[in-house]
Amino acid sequence: MGNISEDIITIILGAGLGKRMKSGVAKVLHPVAGLPMILYPVKAAGELASLKTVVVVGHQADRVKDVLSGKDVEIVHQTEQKGTADAVRLAVESIRDFTGLIVVLCGDVPLITSETVTGLIDAHKKAGASITVLTTEVDDPSGYGRIFRDNNGSILKIVEDRDADDSIKRIKEINTGIYVFNGGFLSKIISGISSANAQEEFYITDSVEIGIRKGLKVVAHKTMQREDVMGINTRAELAIAEGIMRSRINNRHMLNGVTFINPETVYIEDNVRIARDVTIYPGTFIQGSTVIGEGCIIYSNSRIRDSRIGCGVTIKDACVIEESKVGDNAQIGPFAHIRPGTVLDKDVRIGNFVELKKAFMGEGSKANHLTYLGDAEIGSGVNIGAGTITCNYDGYKKHKTTIGNNVFVGSDVQFIAPVNIGDGALIAAGSTVTKDVPPGALAISRVEQGNKEGYAEKRKKIKMKSEK
Ligand code: UD1
Ligand code: MG
């Protein structure tokens, strides 16, 4: 058995509403780089060698719980948001008798890293403290709790902004809301915290004075990683965090061998994976669970969400690709819309103004211009001419178009689904295909052309007559 005091449990506070966000959505659900912000402290907690993570939820608890489903966390409900000490108390009650270290993180501090938290834990252990508060210095401390130290530099108390007089308001060292407590101490004092303050809330910050009064060691550990501990309380702070997170993510990809023509203009969400030697032009969004294979080029202004892009794929300008798969060496765009459920095999070519929905296209097939293919299964080596449309919807139901291998579809063809085209068939340009076409057959369904000799001259004469 290891030393019990080495054990760590992390508590993440996420029950508050976040009034200053002016939102119908709980603050911890607002996304940063595509993920609800509470998932970042959850991730940092997961990287610590902690026994478990307890998340306190309250405001919009069901939605927060949804976001946390599948994560290795325990959930505690705070039905009424009576302050940070009340939230911590509920979590501590759920881990009764735990005497190891308790790390407290905030759901609204998404830029926190496990390195910064580990630094705090190390400082706590080294000092043999009962409480260690993570602090930092900021140019504008308004809104934050201030760290009040004595002449020797030891922390005496934390004063909340709303309870601070002018001299305290001038202090630039602030409480980040992140702490390490000795579990035994915390469970003894947590119920004794009062709500005698400007907000009539139970403040976890009061534990500092209580600890000192009891003669315990309380330490304020200052970090220089100001960005890591930035609390999000307003939309303006949310935008700043978004920018920092975005550049962190892009830097990570650059370190892994991805080229950005201008990284400031590329928005990649946190869960996206990108292989090396991918080049990304400005104005691109890559979202959700997208995976991009080696050697792809993604030109400007595309958005790719929840998709799997193979190796060596070229995505020309201004494409939207959602919930789809694109095979190796395919070429997409410019101006293509690949909608959910599409699967493109290798070497497929999709050109300008082509929309695909729930379409499969086999190896080397092409739809280069002005086409809609929906609910379609298309074999390999197929050429789809410009202006081809699968008429998949009859006003009530969707129907499928199946096209075999090596079919040649001329321009401006409509397939009235359900319809099946056999391997190697030819579809004449301008045809409306309402019946199945056998393999190797030519289908042609356009009105035969008649030429009226000299008609233009005749028409001109008729017009001149009528004007007299
Ligand atoms: C808190 C600190 C302040 C610190 C700041 C850092 C207190 C009293 N103040 O203030 O010293 O400078 O964080 O960002 O602790 N929460 C609950 N239940 C509640 C109230 C809050 O779970 O009843 C959660 C919130 O969801 C949030 C976190 O606790 O994730 C902090 O609450 P918030 O209201 O943002 O506190 P601040 O005013 O920012
Ligand atoms: Mg806050």
Other residues' Cβ atoms within 10 Å of the Cβ of residue 17: 15
Residues 168 and 106 in one domain: yes
What is the number of the ligand 1 atom nearest to the C-alpha of 107? 30
Residues 328 and 188 in one domain: no
Q: What is the pLDDT of residues 316-342, one digit of tens each?
A: 999 999 999 999 999 999 999 999 999
Asked, for residue 236, whether it belongs to a domain, the answer is: no
By CB neighbour count within 10 A (0-12 exposed, 13-18 middle, 19+ buried), where does 353 fall? middle
**C-beta of residue 267 within 8 angstroms of C-beta of residue 242:** no
Expressed as residue numbers, the domain containing 115 is: 8-229
Last residue of a domain, one of 305, 338, 371: 338
What integer pLDDT is reported at residue 6 of this predicted model?
Answer: 58
Strand boundaries in 302-460, DSSP class E: 303-305, 308-309, 314-315, 320-322, 325-326, 331-332, 336-338, 343-344, 349-361, 366-378, 383-384, 389-391, 401-403, 408-409, 414-416, 419-421, 426-427, 432-433, 442-443
Residues 266 and 314 in one domain: yes
What is the number of the ligand 1 atom nearest to the C-alpha of 15? 22
State in Å: Cα 37 to ligand 1 middle.
Answer: 15
Residues 166 and 270 in one domain: no
Nearest CA to ligand 1 atom 10: 144
State in Å: Cα 233 to ligand 2 middle.
Answer: 5
CATH code of the domain covering residue 295: 2.160.10.10
Last residue of a domain, one of 303, 338, 373: 338
Which residue among 68, 84, 146, 175 has the greatest number of ligand 1 atoms within 8 angstroms of its CB, and so is best to mutate? 84
What integer pLDDT is reported at residue 80 of this predicted model?
Answer: 96
How many structural domains does the chain have?
A: 3
Q: Residue 4 pLDDT more than 80? A: no
Asked, for residue 420, whether it belongs to a domain, the answer is: yes
| 183-207 average pLDDT score | 95
Residues 17 and 150 in one domain: yes
| 351-379 average pLDDT score | 98
Q: What is the pLDDT of residues 154-192, one digit of tens each?
A: 999 999 999 999 999 999 999 999 999 999 999 999 999
Asked, for residue 247, whether it belongs to a domain, the answer is: no
Q: What phi-psi label fits residue 25: left (phi over 0), alpha (psi between -120 and 50 degrees) or beta? A: beta
Q: Residue 49 pLDDT more than 90? A: no
State in Å: Cα 177 to ligand 1 middle.
Answer: 7
Asked, for residue 253, whether it belongs to a domain, the answer is: no
Query: Does ligand 1 lie within 6 Å of residue 177's CB atom?
Result: yes
CATH code of the domain covering residue 78: 3.90.550.10
Last residue of a domain, one of 306, 338, 370: 338
What is the number of the ligand 1 atom nearest to the C-alpha of 80? 23
State in Å: Cα 228 to ligand 2 middle.
Answer: 14
Residues 432 and 363 in one domain: yes
Q: Active-site positions?
A: 369
Q: Which two tokens stand for residue 324?
A: 């789809």
State in Å: Cα 186 to ligand 2 middle.
Answer: 21
Sorted by sequence, the CB contacts under 8 Å of residue 236 that are 6+ apart come out as none
Residues 53 and 107 in one domain: yes
Asked, for residue 17, whether it belongs to a domain, the answer is: yes
Asked, for residue 345, whether it belongs to a domain, the answer is: no
Asked, for residue 214, whether it belongs to a domain, the answer is: yes
Asked, for residue 175, whether it belongs to a domain, the answer is: yes
Q: pTM (2 decimals)?
A: 0.92
Q: What percent of the chain has pLDDT over 70?
A: 99
CA distance 58 to 60: 6
Other residues' Cβ atoms within 10 Å of the Cβ of residue 452: 8
**C-beta of residue 294 within 8 angstroms of C-beta of residue 277:** yes
Nearest-ligand number for the alpha carbon of 205: 1
Residues 47 and 94 in one domain: yes
What integer pLDDT is reported at residue 351 of this predicted model?
Answer: 98
| 54-71 average pLDDT score | 97
The model's confidence at residue 33, banded by pLDDT at 50, 70 and 90, is very high
Residues 302 and 376 in one domain: no
By CB neighbour count within 10 A (0-12 exposed, 13-18 middle, 19+ buried), where does 69 fall? exposed
Residues 270 and 137 in one domain: no
Q: What average pLDDT does the chain have?
A: 96
Q: What is the pLDDT of residues 90-107, one digit of tens each?
A: 999 999 889 999 999 999
Residues 310 and 365 in one domain: no
Nearest CA to ligand 1 atom 22: 15
Nearest-ligand number for the alpha carbon of 83: 1
The model's confidence at residue 468, banded by pLDDT at 50, 70 and 90, is confident
Nearest CA to ligand 1 atom 34: 16
Q: What is the pLDDT of residues 149-162, one digit of tens each?
A: 999 999 999 999 99
What is the number of the ligand 1 atom nearest to the C-alpha of 27? 26
Residues 176 and 66 in one domain: yes
What integer pLDDT is reported at residue 17 of this predicted model?
Answer: 87
